[in-house]
Amino acid sequence: MRGDRVEVVIDAGGEVRTYDVVATRNGRRVEIETGRGVVTVSEVTRSGTPVRTARFMANRILALVEHPAADQNIAREDIEPHLPGSTG
């Protein structure tokens, strides 16, 4: 979904670098795969064809943050606490 974003923070030998992989067009999404010490973050089309790919060594990753593109109303509902006895 356009607006999906994955932020990868890595240790680059004495400094910290941040990389963003963003779904740039409608119908594209960002997928994460891990295997054999490598993390692959790809922007893919609806059919699953990779458009852009970034690969990182897993032992260098400090943080991997997914920022899904979501409707504001849905996100607000997920964040609001539901207390026992309250309506809504």
Domain boundaries defined on the chain: 5-79
Q: What is the pLDDT along the chain (88 residues), one digit of tens a residue?
A: 677 889 999 999 889 999 999 888 888 999 999 999 999 999 999 999 999 999 999 999 999 999 887 654 444 444 445 555 555 5
- The one-letter amino acid code at 64 reads L
Across the chain, what does the average pLDDT equal? 82
pTM: 0.72
For residues 29 and 27, give the distance between their C-alpha atoms in angstroms, rounded to a whole number: 7
CB of 44 closer than 8 Å to CB of 28: yes
Q: Which residue has the tokens 């309250």?
A: 86
